[in-house]
Amino acid sequence: MKQREANFELLRIVAMLMIITLHYLDKGGILPKPDAAFTTAGYMAWGLEAFCVPAVNVYVLISAYFLAGSDYRPWKAAKLWIQVFFYSVGIAAVLLAVGVIPPETMDKYVLLKYLFPVVEEHYWFVTAYLLMYLLAPLMNETLRTLPKRRLRQGLGLLLLLLSISASFLPVRLPIDRLGYDTLWFLCLYLTGAYLRYHGMPGICQETEGSAREAGGRGNGFQPMKGSLWRAFSGYFLCSILIFLSLAVIHGLYMRTGSLGDFIKRQYQYNSIFCLLSSVLLFCAFGRMQVREGKAAAVIRRIASVSFGVYLIHEHMDLRYLWPVWLGTDRFVDTPLFLLHWLPSVLAVYGGCMLFDFARQALFQSVSLQFRKRDTV
């Protein structure tokens, strides 16, 4: 079995830490409302948010980049669903047993979310991601025969409708769900495929015939000299632009009362600056070289639980509880939240990691028992 590339696995870890940061700022009450007056701490919180908001796009880009060059495996979608169901029902059962969830809150609508987490969007990300995964074979079949020019035109049209228009138009289009949907994930899938087959000008270059090698499974992501710092610089610049857009428009809103809908427009997952930031961060890690050895093995091991970390800390009954347990309310509206933020995020990842290691061991044990029965 081919090992996953350690540099992209490191990015997977970083992206999940950034996602936890987004939830720490939002659900912990650190991030002020966009239409409220900002203190210094408020600007600092929105600044940190600007550097972390590309994380969701990055996580999808990693999957898209590798799915676009691999064979479709339906059992992977089944494994994902089983893991989601395990945590959706399991966490609820444990919290109910220990009295964290009052029994009277367990109505039929809540039960449906536990029992059908994908259909009922217990986790919006999982619903969008699994639908993207199920559509991957159709996308791949099209990509293997699609000329570069047509792919660029199709991707450009999608970006115009879903990203550029969402970033600058004064009205919100009916198809615009701010990046919280499968349509946006399919757009990210095409972006990841384009990076794989054709690269990104000035950052990574395509290899001749890369998109046609091995039946369309070639790897066109060949870094250019100096592209690591170029990509990181681009990521930082885009993140700063995201923050400046908020700071400027928020200032105008506080003075005039207008442009309220535009305050956090560039913070949406499908904004053009958020997309560029995520692509550049992806390319920067693609340029990294992680030597094989103990460090690479540790990175792969820690990255293997990243999806489980998301499922645990973002469970509907935990997403507002863990910030309380960590005492984030003591750091609302104070710059000292920066001292509390990183240890808290690392603690959440570490704690969830231990639980998912246990879940992996349990699943492996059950799988082994089934295999033994099949051989008898």
3-state secondary structure of 167: helix
Reference 58, options 19, 22, 26, 27; nearest CA is 19
Q: What is the pLDDT of residue 82?
A: 96
- Taking the C-alpha atoms of residue 126 and residue 88, their distance in angstroms, rounded to an integer, is 12
- Taking the C-alpha atoms of residue 207 and residue 360, their distance in angstroms, rounded to an integer, is 38
Sheet strands (E) in 113-230? 199-200, 204-205, 222-223
List the domain boundaries for the chain.
6-375
Q: What is the pLDDT of residue 44?
A: 98
What does the pLDDT profile of the chain (376 residues) look like in tens digits?
567 889 999 999 999 999 999 999 999 999 999 999 999 999 999 999 999 999 999 999 999 999 987 887 888 899 999 999 999 999 999 999 999 999 888 889 999 999 999 999 999 999 999 999 999 999 998 888 889 899 999 999 999 999 999 999 988 888 889 999 999 999 999 999 999 888 776 666 654 444 444 444 445 445 444 578 889 999 999 999 999 999 999 999 999 998 898 999 999 999 999 999 999 999 999 888 888 999 999 999 999 999 999 999 999 999 999 999 999 999 999 999 999 999 999 999 999 999 999 999 999 999 888 777 766 5
Q: What are phi and psi of 4, to 5 degrees?
A: -70, 150
Q: What are phi and psi of 54, to 5 degrees?
A: -70, -5
Number of Cβ within 10 Å of residue 376's Cβ equals 4
| pTM, 2 dp | 0.93
Q: How many residues does the chain have?
A: 376
